Structure 1
Amino acid sequence: MNQLYGTGVALVTPFNDDYTIDFPGLKKLIDHTIDGGVDYLVVLGTTGEVATLTSKEKKEVLAACLEFNADRVPVVYGIGGNNTQAVLDEIANTDFKGISAILSVSPYYNKPSQAGIIAHYKAIADTCPVPVILYNVPGRTMSNLAADTTLALSKHPNIIGTKEASGNLEQCMQIAAGKPDDFLLISGDDLMTKAMYAIGGVGVISVLANAIPSTFKALCHGDEKESRKAAFSLLGVNELMYKEGNPVGVKNFLCHLDICDDQVRLPMLRASLELNQLIKTAAQKFM
């Protein structure tokens, strides 16, 4: 699965002022990211505001992304949840033509045991017709996918990697030390990408790559000097992306780049005037 090395962009879902999906904006965004050098698209993850989309809208967005991508780069599709059977039902009702893998978030809210998390993912991996990438983001799920759990799941033939957004470098090192050689360790935190490469990571699924894909191309594929410079350039702007919630920040950044509007769906709100100005200032160095 070396096609999933480098930068995966966690695509936002552009909205019009009336909250309908902005498909021309989505096309412009996909062209911007691919032309900027991302290695694959991640469709309808957290950054895509999947929690606020209807089943019909999710199918429409996926179909549009596949059309606009036109087989230029691989596509990873977000299918996850805290109701295992509902996830299995969604898999059964999804057309996987053009999809290279799914990204499936660890069950949230329920706070399952580690054994429960293993059973959840095994059920998904046993059913899914394409490979599965785990997604550990304790800040959202309120439960951690422990290193031993990830390593146990890494033995499943249809589980090919993990997006690690725990922020715990020691845990990531434990995974790197014990994982199979072909199991993908992917950073789920833009700022940790360089550190993850140092311990055996293969790339990042990035929020900021929506706006500045060429920076991530340099970070993931440049020489050491280019890569370090790209990583350091994220300081200052990265924290603004989460100041009022994701994807509020990156949508505002995209608005300043004239790629799409910064509309989000409730309960998220557009960036405040203060945050808007901070992002506008920070964006200048990337223009």
Structure 2
Amino acid sequence: MSHIFAPSARFSGIWIPLVTPFHAGVVDLGALDVLVRHYAEAGVAGFVALGTTGEPAALDDREQDAVLATVLAAAGALPVVAGVSGNHTASVCERIAALNEQPVAGVLAAAPYYIRPSQAGVIGHFAAIADTSRKPVIVYDIPARTGVGIELPSLLELASHERIVAVKDCGGALDKTLALILDGRLDVLCGEDLDMFGALCAGASGAIAASAHLRPERFVAMEKALREDRLGEAREIWHTLVPLVRAAFAEPNPGPVKAALASMGRMRNELRAPMTRVSGELEETLARLMA
């Protein structure tokens, strides 16, 4: 049995936070369907629909519902987590209540953005979400986007709630990551792609990785090798992936991922304002890496 991964993890392995393809300004549900089926065949553990990489802030409610329905239909037996975000607790809870009726494996919720509440406010926000949800809750700690970090004592307090079962860790603090892994109550999913290998070696249960859109089978093989204690092989695979991971975040996400997928003909290189296409130079780099 592996000594790296906790066997009891509910959320583990490589998860893809799906992009939302567009065609002439309209959500391209056909391209999304094909993408999901491709990644399922590559062996990923599951999907996040309507996460940051999916540009949910640029989708209206009808479009969000259509994206989620498409992902659920195409994913087959693979689990799908729905992203939910907002800075008004009651409104977020309304969305969570609606998701209770959907066959999702869980919900991924970030701290309230922009308003920067106290830690008591953050705890209250997630407690309200978890009280409302009938699905497992993954706490999304990403202070670079929300403006407020979820401090370790807050996460440990939230871990006592029966429906808060995991954290997507983009906090950028190794001490906190290790403390959460050692505490053991929350599945720790790495959300900073370049930190993925180290986090998995330290005992994180998996990763939610936008860069895994590109060469997904290699990310899956790397995680499997680590899980089976084949460190040298895992390291070798990871070293081949590092240039791709760096390129995938050289400009704002999901611009680089969409450019790379477009270079392979999997979707159009289209984003909604204020997101923009990547520079021509990065587009060429990504196309070369994917060739």
| CA distance in structure 2 between the aligned counterparts of 1:13 and 1:269, rounded to whole angstroms | 14
Please name the residue that 2:199 is paired with.
196
Please name the residue that 2:180 is paired with.
175
1:235-261 per-position Cα deviation (integer Å, ceiling 9, x unaligned): 222222222211000011111222111
Q: Secondary structure at the match of 1:93?
A: helix
1:183-205 per-position Cα deviation (integer Å, ceiling 9, x unaligned): 20110012212211222210000
Please name the residue that 1:92 is paired with.
97
- Structure 1 residues 116 and 99: CA distance shift in structure 2, 3 A: same
User: Is 1:31 matched with 2:34?
Assistant: no
Please name the residue that 1:43 is paired with.
49
Root-mean-square deviation (CA, aligned residues, Å) is: 1.4
How far did residue 230 of structure 1 move? 2.3
Please name the residue that 1:107 is paired with.
112
Judge conservation of contact 1:33–1:209 (CA < 8 Å) in 2: no
How far did residue 95 of structure 1 move? 5.2
User: Is 1:138 matched with 2:143?
Assistant: yes
| CA distance in structure 1 between the aligned counterparts of 2:10 and 2:79, rounded to whole angstroms | 7
| CA distance in structure 2 between the aligned counterparts of 1:244 and 1:96, rounded to whole angstroms | 37
Please name the residue that 2:265 is paired with.
258
Please name the residue that 1:210 is paired with.
213
Please name the residue that 1:269 is paired with.
276
TM-score by length of 2: 0.92
Judge conservation of contact 1:191–1:231 (CA < 8 Å) in 2: no
Which one-letter code corresponds to 1:37 in the other structure?
A: G
Which one-letter code corresponds to 1:238 in the other structure?
A: V
How far did residue 3 of structure 1 move? 5.0
Runs of 4+ in 1 over 6 A off after TM superposition: none
Judge conservation of contact 1:44–1:78 (CA < 8 Å) in 2: yes
How far did residue 76 of structure 1 move? 0.6
Judge conservation of contact 2:194–2:246 (CA < 8 Å) in 1: no
| CA distance in structure 1 between the aligned counterparts of 2:281 and 2:171, rounded to whole angstroms | 29
1:146-191 per-position Cα deviation (integer Å, ceiling 9, x unaligned): 11111111111010010001222122112222342xx201100122
Q: Secondary structure at the match of 2:268?
A: coil
Judge conservation of contact 2:100–2:135 (CA < 8 Å) in 1: no
Q: How many residues align?
A: 280
Judge conservation of contact 1:3–1:74 (CA < 8 Å) in 2: no
Structure 2: tracts of 5 or more residues without a match = 1-7
- Structure 1 residues 259 and 226: CA distance shift in structure 2, 3 A: farther
Please name the residue that 1:123 is paired with.
128
Please name the residue that 2:252 is paired with.
245
User: Is 1:4 matched with 2:11?
Assistant: yes
| CA distance in structure 2 between the aligned counterparts of 1:205 and 1:36, rounded to whole angstroms | 15
Structure 1: tracts of 5 or more residues without a match = none
Judge conservation of contact 1:218–1:226 (CA < 8 Å) in 2: no
Which one-letter code corresponds to 2:160 in the other structure?
A: K
Judge conservation of contact 1:96–1:130 (CA < 8 Å) in 2: no
Judge conservation of contact 1:42–1:75 (CA < 8 Å) in 2: yes
**Larger mean Cα displacement after TM superposition, 165-174 or 38-47:** 165-174
Judge conservation of contact 2:104–2:135 (CA < 8 Å) in 1: yes
Tell me which of 76, 79, 82 is aligned to 2:84.
79
How far did residue 234 of structure 1 move? 2.5
1:61-80 per-position Cα deviation (integer Å, ceiling 9, x unaligned): 1111111122x211111112
